[in-house]
Amino acid sequence: MAENELIKTDFSSELSQRYLAYALSTITSRSLPDVRDGLKPVHRRLLYAMRLLRLDPGQGFKKSARVVGDVMGKFHPHGDAAIYDAMVRLAQEFAMRYPLVDGQGNFGNIDGDNAAAMRYTEARMTLVAQLLLDGIDEDAVDFRQTYDGEGEEPVILPAAFPNLLANGAQGIAVGMATSIPPHNAIELIDAALHLIKHPNASHAKMLDFIKGPDFPTGGVLIEAPEQLAEAYATGRGAFRLRAAWQCETEKGGGWKIIITAIPYQVQKARLIEKMAELMQAKKLPFIADIMDESAEDIRLVIEPKSRRIDPKLLMENLFRMTDLEYRIGLNLNVLDGTGTPGVMSIKDALLAWIDHQLVVLRRRTSHRLNKIIARLEVLEGYLVVYLNLDEVIAIIREEDHPRPRLMERFGLNENQANAILDMRLRSLRRLEEMELGKERDDLNAEAADLNAMMADEGRQRAVITSSIKAMRAQFIKTDQRLTRIEPQPVLDSDPAEMLVEKEAVTIVCSENGWIRSMKGRIEPDADIRLREGDAPKFHLHADSTDRLVIGLENGRFYTISIDKLPGGRGFGEPLALMIDIAVDTPIISIMVVKPGKILLASSSGHGFITEIDQLIAQTKTGRQVMTVMDKARMIAAKPLAGESVALVGSNRKMLIINADDIPVMAKGRGVILQRYKDAWLADATSFRAEDGLSWVQLGGRTRTERDITPWVGKRAGAGKIVPVGFPKPPRFT
């Protein structure tokens, strides 16, 4: 094939292959961390470059630009800005639970301000970073060629610290992502120590050690234990994190809220800005002012408009409307030991780290054994010198080429001969000979012990346990849990009510379903404008903080907050625009939500009693409460006002029964209240027997019948003819 010859190929096939290569590169080389050391390639290269620069915790700082330059020039063929951004995050105490870089200078802050340029900041490694690199010079891990083939870089770090779960990780790849919150190192170590002894421990057992995420910014975790257990067992879930706060009292009975910690990854400046916007939009009417008094610690001061407000209710509203409550996702999607991406449970991730520690231990042990063998070989050569000292000196003095002569005369190999020729004269002492013999014996004993350990996995696990306990001792004094875990608080009232100023209103709804909320208590006989051809139907008094329950003939109920209704100007708006009301289905009831029982009845003569809470719907689609069969329809949904229930049919027969004979149900058709033949139930109401039964006559006058004995009967009876003057068609109101 000629050098410049064009090759024709299918475009979609070629594009698919190239995109697949890009996707795999993004997944394995950029976005997903390795389960063994919890690092992405850029972080691994940063730490390795800092080790080569000898930026150990006890050494001095070097310019960040020096580190970034080495990483970019030797290991990471990407832009310096991306490398420096990764380095900055490793140094931020509010981003990393256990920082890997010890920064000197401006590395950004929790307000969201950027770090200073790399030429102004300096850095070195932390003790945790040193733990991740411990043993890297002892053949603990594999190395590969760098991108330009001029050097080598580690494929993975030895990682004596459980970095993946301790510091967490975030990343978005192609078709997958990872989100791992940070955890407390002591809790992870305790769980790992248990897994070393009991690898088959249950997922639930992990919660005895790992209480939940532990964020560097603190806060309060309010997730239920069962949801934590499910998330940790599956590797997927979410955690609700809230700001930590306290109520600070003042002289005279006043108080203010002090925010002492904000959720992880929430920028303080942006949080305050968002709250100020909500205050300006009058969506936080219960707050008078918010001030930022933070120095090194977080201190946000929130002043209420009234000292009579419950602080817990105030905070619940802020949690609902601002990032003072933030949802942290868990997606434990990582690369396993073979480089394959997958979602792991928290137990599996810890087991993978433990297995990696065993591999590192075996490799470091093999490296040490090879060093011992090489040293013993040299020692044997040295001992030959002491046994034949005069002859060795003579060969060195007289021979032009002493190396081959020594090898031939004493049966030495080249390494031993070179070691003998490199010996210093002052080493040729009797005391030195004795020390060499002791060293040989010690090395032989060490080699025997290491070989025995390599053949016994139980001893290997014991060695790992000992090293992990030693690491635990370094953290136990200073590593306290920062994030509190508390149950979801139970409140006596709805926090949403605080968002609405309480005032008296009148609800007016017309025959055609146009509804509005008018300020004040307006009587039904007042002149209220309606659209042409429309007529009034419902008129009730309420407060602006109340909710309405709306019942339709089909037995379905809807809920709407009064503050969501249009004002009194104009004709209002159709209810059909606010809730999903079935077409041409009449509204038969509108009630204010207040504690109590509700009487439901249908035209088939069936009915039951229910609690008002059973009528409340959470969505616009409503809630089916009463089942109506065939051509029947719900004709009554009224608060239970007494122990007696009056029923009247289209045949003008009335029956009064005891409310105790009607069952209390959550939903359904109910029981037969009154029987009919070629008729149906026209209306139902409840009342107190001592007050008598009232109804509205033609002309609007109200009549009360106090002697109700003729109509009192058993449930499911037929009833008797209504009193003279009862309205036509038969209705109580």
With 0-12 / 13-18 / 19 or more C-beta atoms within 10 angstroms meaning exposed / middle / buried, residue 39 is: buried
Confidence of residue 431 (pLDDT cuts 50, 70, 90): low
Asked whether the predicted pLDDT for residue 1 surpasses 60, the reply is no
Q: Which of 237, 246, 48 is nearest to 136 (CA)?
A: 48
Residues 661-671, mean pLDDT to the nearest whole number: 94
- What is the pLDDT, as a whole number, of residue 14? 73
CA within 13 Å, CB half, 570: 9
Taking CA atoms, 683 is separated from 674, 727, 730, in Å, by 11, 12, 7
Q: DSSP label at 600? A: E
Are 537 and 515 contacting, i.e. CB atoms less than 8 angstroms apart? Answer: no
Q: What is the pLDDT of residues 33-82, one digit of tens each?
A: 999 999 999 999 999 999 999 999 989 999 999 999 999 999 988 889 99
**Per-residue pLDDT for 491 more than 70?**
no
β-sheet with 62-63: strand ranges across: 62-63, 122-125, 101-104
Mean local confidence (pLDDT), 12-25:
72
How big is the CA angle at 610 (ends 609 and 611), to the nearest 5 degrees? 140
Cβ-based neighbours of 19, under 8 Å, separated by 6 or more: none
3-state secondary structure of 609: strand
- Average pLDDT estimate for 569-598: 88
SS3 state of residue 321: helix
25-34, 224-233, 258-267, 279-288: segment of lowest average pLDDT: 25-34
pLDDT tier at 549 (50, 70, 90 boundaries)? very high
Q: What percentage of the chain exceeds 70 in pLDDT?
A: 95
Rounded (10°) angle between helices 402-410 and 414-421: 120
Helices 430-454, 457-475: crossing angle, 10 deg rounding: 100
Across all residues in the chain, what is the average pLDDT? 89
Q: Looking at 582-591, 601-610, 666-675, which range is the least confident one?
A: 582-591
Q: How confident is the model at residue 107 (pLDDT cuts 50, 70, 90)?
A: very high
Give CA–CA dist 189/353, Å, rounded.
11
User: Do 210 and 187 touch, CB atoms closer than 8 A?
Assistant: yes
Least confident interval from 25-34, 318-327, 530-539: 25-34
CA–CA gap between residue 578 and residue 704 (Å, rounded): 39
What's the CA gap between 660 and 662, in Å, rounded? 5
The model's pTM is 0.71
Catalytic residue among 120, 232, 386, 558: 120
b/e code 205-231 from CB counts within 10 Å (16+ = b): ebbebbbbbbbbbbbbbbbeeeebbeb
CA distance 638 to 685: 7
Q: Is 120 a catalytic residue?
A: yes
Query: Mean pLDDT across the stretch 331-356?
Result: 93
209: its two tokens: 């050690």
pLDDT at 20 (0 to 100): 72
CA distance 434 to 26: 60
Q: What are phi and psi of 493, to 5 degrees?
A: -140, 170
Cβ atoms of residues 77 and 85 within 8 Å? no
The DSSP result for 233-285, as a single string, is: HHSEEEEEEE-EEEEEE-GGG-EEEEEEE--TT--HHHHHHHHHHHHHTTS-T
Residue with token string 């300096």: 122
In this structure, what token pair is assigned to residue 655?
């029956």
Segments in 322-401 forming alpha helices (H): 346-387, 389-398
pLDDT digits (tens, 9 = 90+) for 208-242: 999 999 999 999 999 888 889 999 999 999 999 99
Which residues on adjacent β-strands are paired with residue 485? 221
**Measured distance CA(230)–CA(569) in Å, rounded:** 52
pLDDT of residue 333: 93
State residue 156's pLDDT score: 95
Query: Who has greater pLDDT, 570 or 499?
Result: 570
Q: Are 330 and 179 in contact (CB under 8 A)?
A: yes
Q: How far apart are CA 418 and CA 261, in angstroms?
A: 66
Q: Say yes or no to pLDDT of 17 above 80.
A: no
Phi then psi dihedrals of residue 363, to 5 deg: -70, -40
The pLDDT value given to residue 663: 95
Least confident of 13-17, 233-237, 578-582: 13-17
Beta strands 220-221 and 484-485 are parallel
